[in-house]
Structure formats: structure tokens, C-alpha cells
Amino acid sequence: MILNTLIFLLIGFLGLFFGGKYVIVGLENISSRLGISHLLVGLTVLSIGTSLPEIAVSVMGGIDKFLGYSEFIDGIVIGNKIGSFLVQITLVLGILGLSQHIFVSKWILKREGPMLFISVFIFLIVAVDGVITRVDAGILVISYILYLILIIKSEKKIERIKNEKDLLDTEELEQVDFKPVEYVKKTYSLKKNVGIFLGGLLILLASAEITVLSAIELATEFSIPGDVVGIFIVGIGTSIPELSVDLTALRRKSQGIAVGDILGSNICDILLATGSGAIITDFNVPSILILFDIPILLGAISIAYISLYTEKVLKKWESIILISYFGLYTFLKLLFL
């Protein structure tokens, strides 16, 4: 029984990965066919695309709760968002930093860094009463849309300045050309690209449902709190696309994209992904997440931001600190389970 659950969970993770990938590929090609700007595609498809697993888990979790399937769903869905955020800002960033020194521009840090803290505080404000309502969900989604508008305007401003050939610090302009990391060599017709997109979307949603139901089964079988399953199982599983995309970006010497994706994806997870599910139905927020996990998350953001901002580079010893921080958090979380 348990083996079957673990197999289905693995299938769910694989489906989330490949489903999200095909959705991104389809959207990129459709956008290209329709003549949508490369900048807009990079900022939206790439940043939101790698968060599609978290969004899908929220949506399917919201549908399952609306249908009254399980009381574990709240902890799994909300825990997934916090877990994914924490995994990416510590474990994923640390793994990338161990593979090579990670350089990041001042422009990305000044814009995305503060927004990491702001997004968590917005989440904390709407969740502090123990429930995220549809109204709260609207606040989360609108906050993300405003953030997206802000970065699109800022990138357009940078492009305009570059075109006018003003003298700017080249470090501030490093890696602001958001070229998609994944691309398709073959050129398909618009009809085929729509098919790729819809097929990927179906795989993504079906895989999210398999993942949620498998996580519920594990929580029920072992009497594990839903938030723990959401953080350590679903959270790590849904962070695989970010790790894959970012490692690909590093191999292609696109360090700015790798760090930018981690920062942007986390903001998307906590705001858009959470709000997407809560629009369907209210989510209860376990008090332990507010009292323990959120402060730990804010500490992780602080360590990562300071490490990147001091010399605009993430060194290997700093990467080890980030990974160790996640290890300590895991120990404490499981110790008081």
C-alpha cells in the first residue's frame, strides 16, 4: 500500500515537471508566433512557468477541499508554498552556489530582494487570523499582478536606456535580457503549439491531483501533520523544475537568470500560487506555520540576501551555510513533530 502511494507520488512529481515544461514550451512558441515581445515572454512565462507545479497543487487542492475530500489538504497546500520557498532559497540556491560562484547584479537584488520580504509579510498579514479567505486570495493575486507590472516597466526602462546608449554601470545591466532557458529547436504551427500547451496543462493538472491525493494518503497512513508533508515532500518535489531550469541556466552561463528565477519564482509561489487555490475555497493555516516556519523563512531570506548583497556573489562557504540552515530547520521541525 505504502509502496503504491510512493510510486504514485513519484509519478505525480514527474508529471508536474514534464507538464510544466510543455506548458512553458507551448506558451513560448505561441507568444513568438503572435509576435509578443521577448521581454514580456521572459518575465512572465519563465517566472510563472517554473511555479506552475505549486499553482497546480493549490488549484487542485482547492477543488478537492471544496468537494470535501480531506482535512489534511489545508496543511499540505499551505505547507507546500512555504516549503517550496524555503527549499529554493536555501537548498536550491546552495546547490547552485556549490556548483560554481554565483554572481548577481545590483539591479536584480535591489528590485527582487525587498519584494521577497514584502511578499512574505503580505502572506503573514492575510494568514495571521488562521484562515486565507477568498478576499485574502484576491489581495495575494492582485499584489503579484502589481509586482509583475512593476518589473515589466522596470525592464522596459532598462531596455530603453540601453538603446539610447547612455553610460551606465554594466553590472546594473547584467542579465536583464530574460531569454527563456528552455527552448524548442523545431518550429511548429500555431495549432500544434496550442496542442502542446493544452496537453501539458492536462498533464500538469492530473499530476497535481495525483500528488495531492498521494500526499494525503501518506499523511493519513503515518498520522503526519499535513504541513510537514506539504513542506518536506510536496515542497521539495515541486521545487525540482526550478532546480532543473537554474542548473541549465548556469551551464549556459546565464547566472542572472538562475538567481532571478529563484527570487521571482518564490514571490510567485507565496502570492499567486497561494491565491490561486484560495480563490476556489478558504484555506486554514496551521498555527505552527505562523509561529515557527514563517520566522524561519524570514531568517533564510535574510541570510541569502546578505550573502548575495555583500559582494554580489554567492561563495561556496555561504552556500554551505544555506544548506546547513535548511538541515537545522529540518531537524528542529521533525524533532517537535
The region that residue 313 occupies, defined by phi over 0 for left and psi between -120 and 50 for alpha, beta otherwise, is: beta
Task: Please state, in angstroms and rounded to a whole number, the distance separating the CA atoms of residues 235 and 91.
Answer: 12
Compare 39 and 244 and report the one with higher pLDDT.
244
Compare 232 and 259 and report the one with higher pLDDT.
232
C-alpha cell read off for 162: 540601453
What is the model's pLDDT at position 36? 63
Look up the pTM and report it.
0.82
Task: Please state, in angstroms and rounded to a whole number, the distance separating the CA atoms of residues 290 and 128.
Answer: 7
C-alpha cell read off for 7: 510510486
Nearest of 111, 116, 119, 117 to residue 157 by alpha carbon: 111
Class of domain 2-335 (CATH, top level):
mainly alpha
Percent of the chain at pLDDT > 90 equals: 33
* pLDDT at residue 272 greater than cutoff 80: yes
Helices (H), 35-133: 38-41, 47-49, 52-66, 73-86, 93-99, 106-127
From 157-171, 181-195, 221-235, the region with the lowest mean pLDDT:
157-171
C-alpha cell read off for 290: 505562523
> 14-60: per-residue pLDDT in tens?
888 888 778 877 877 777 777 666 556 655 666 677 788 889 899 99
**CA separation (Å) from 215 to 10, 183, 206, 312?**
11, 32, 14, 39
> 290-331: per-residue pLDDT in tens?
999 999 999 999 999 998 888 778 888 999 999 999 999 999
What are the extents of the domains in the chain?
2-335
From 194-208, 211-225, 239-253, the region with the lowest mean pLDDT:
239-253
